[in-house]
């Protein structure tokens, strides 16, 4: 881990000459902040004094030209570069596992344009998600993304991780909201992709970089799709006799063209340990939180349609105020006391699959992690992003005390979970990305197709400077 000292010193001097002394950070204590994102293994390793990675330098970029200059020099000196936004990723995607430069993009913080006619916003990569949402809301608009990390994450991170938000069932994930990108390639060229996502002028290059996690270049600007703030939001809550009945009812609703903005279906354990404590109610059974939005008459019609289909599957209609409370407190799930802290271990094993396979994936993950219950592990699963063809499971596991062999135990839990997902016909991630955590399983996930991605990487990044060790590229 790390880069030869002479290369670092030479590069630091050239970067300071090009960007200014204040833009290049090499002091040890200031580098500490870039040791870990929110990946548990990285946090635990840093707390133990043995970080998974650490930058040799941090460069504070403020423009496309700054980013291009850094990449040209890094490529010349064969020094790794890892883009850094809000540091909110959970997969180790921003960990500098081979040292090099942490390229901090928070200085690219301009909201370049809000096009209220076309309902688009163009923002630089370092724009904070919460700030963007507040500025759009003041205009009566929204970026319908709303990830749990909105107060930390940045626009560039949204796109690079192929992320999702709580309104995805109606509006889509980030790949559905991106129109175009500006990207600095590893050799320093700046490119803009075609300005609209629907065209017939060749393959859709924008999507090559969505989810690329900084391995193919640095996203510095994105144009994203907006919506007007809804005239009404109607919340509902229901309980189902089983998870299978809940999946079937909600699949039927989507198949009939009904589009809730939120569907969060909690299994019995997640209802009791996750949903109940946050909304302040003692809940059990399989519960679903639903939201419908838009014109009031449309939201009401969709709500009544979904509730009717749920009742046909044996659902009990609960007080809709549970949904309103969930909406108000939706970010509290990821903060203390509801979010664990060291010495606990935690992680989110998530997977996406077709409706024909999703229940098998759910059961496979539960079965795979059952042996760890004797270690004190609890697994709470909900299904929160729904598509016309399938849905996903979000399996949050918590172990109260990781113990002395926590990192080894952590890796075994993940290996068993991912193998269970793949064995049941699922895809091992829906919206958190790959990073360091899932890179070892990319060959099993993609098979020979991974070689195609690796060839693209070789062409764009011949010296392999961009975020090495991620995506198994």
Q: What local confidence, expressed as pLDDT, does residue 322 receive?
A: 96
Distance CA 394, CA 362 (A): 9
Q: What local confidence, expressed as pLDDT, does residue 334 receive?
A: 76
Query: Inter-axis angle of helices 355-369 and 243-255, to 10 degrees?
Result: 150
Number of H helices, E strands in the chain: 18, 18
Q: What is the H or E stretch that residue 443 is in? A: helix 442-446
Q: What is the DSSP string of 378-394?
A: EEEEEE--B-SSEEEEE
Q: What local confidence, expressed as pLDDT, does residue 389 receive?
A: 98
Q: What local confidence, expressed as pLDDT, does residue 5 receive?
A: 61
pLDDT tens profile 69-93: 999 999 999 999 999 999 999 999 9
- In the chain, which stretches have pLDDT less than 70? 1-6
Q: What local confidence, expressed as pLDDT, does residue 466 receive?
A: 98
Q: What is the DSSP string of 256-294?
A: TT---SEEEEE-HHHIIIIIHHHHTS---SEEEEEEEEE
Q: What is the H or E stretch that residue 177 is in? A: helix 174-177
Q: What local confidence, expressed as pLDDT, does residue 443 receive?
A: 98
Q: What local confidence, expressed as pLDDT, does residue 287 receive?
A: 98
């Amino acid at each position: 881990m790390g880069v030869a000292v002479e290369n670092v010193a030479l590069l630091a001097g050239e970067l300071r000459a090009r960007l200014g002394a204040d833009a290049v950070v090499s002091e040890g204590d200031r580098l500490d902040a870039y040791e870990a994102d929110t990946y548990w293994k990285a946090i635990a390793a840093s707390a133990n004094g043995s970080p998974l990675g650490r930058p040799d330098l941090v460069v504070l970029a403020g423009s496309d030209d700054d980013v291009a200059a850094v990449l040209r020099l890094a490529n010349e000196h064969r020094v790794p570069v890892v883009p850094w936004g809000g540091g909110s990723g959970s997969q180790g995607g921003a960990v500098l596992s081979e040292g090099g430069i942490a390229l901090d993009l928070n200085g690219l913080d301009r909201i370049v344009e809000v096009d209220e006619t076309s309902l688009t916003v163009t923002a630089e990569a370092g724009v904070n998600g919460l700030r963007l949402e507040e500025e759009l809301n003041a205009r009566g608009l929204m970026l319908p993304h709303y990830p749990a990390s909105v107060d930390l994450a940045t626009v560039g991170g949204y796109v690079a991780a192929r992320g999702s938000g709580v309104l995805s069932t109606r509006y889509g994930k980030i790949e559905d909201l991106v129109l175009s990108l500006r990207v600095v390639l590893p050799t320093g060229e700046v490119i803009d992709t075609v300005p609209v996502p629907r065209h017939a002028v060749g393959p859709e290059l924008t999507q090559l970089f969505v989810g690329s996690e900084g391995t193919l270049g640095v996203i510095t600007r994105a144009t994203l799709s907006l919506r007007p703030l809804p005239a009404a939001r109607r919340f509902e809550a229901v309980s189902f006799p089983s998870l299978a009945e809940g999946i079937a009812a909600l699949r039927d609703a989507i198949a009939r063209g009904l589009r809730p903005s939120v569907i969060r279906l909690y299994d019995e354990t997640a209802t009791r340990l996750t949903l109940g404590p946050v909304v302040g109610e003692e809940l059990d059974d399989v519960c679903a939180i639903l939201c419908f939005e838009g014109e009031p008459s449309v939201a009401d019609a969709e709500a009544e349609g979904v509730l009717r289909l749920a009742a046909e599957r044996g659902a009990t209609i609960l007080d809709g105020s549970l949904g309103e409370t969930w909406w108000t407190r939706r970010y509290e799930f990821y903060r203390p006391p509801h979010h664990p802290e060291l010495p606990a271990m935690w992680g989110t094993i998530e997977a996406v699959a077709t409706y024909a396979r999703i229940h098998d994936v759910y059961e496979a993950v539960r079965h795979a992690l059952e042996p760890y219950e004797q270690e004190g592990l609890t697994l709470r699963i909900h299904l929160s992003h729904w598509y016309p063809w399938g849905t996903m499971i979000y399996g949050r596991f918590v172990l109260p005390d990781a113990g002395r062999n926590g990192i080894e135990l952590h890796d075994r839990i993940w290996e068993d979970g991912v193998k269970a997902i793949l064995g049941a016909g699922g895809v091992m991630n829906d919206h958190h990305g790959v990073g360091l955590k899932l890179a070892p399983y990319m060959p099993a996930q993609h098979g020979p197709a991974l070689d195609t991605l690796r060839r693209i990487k070789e062409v764009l990044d011949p010296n392999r400077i961009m975020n090495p060790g991620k995506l198994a590229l």
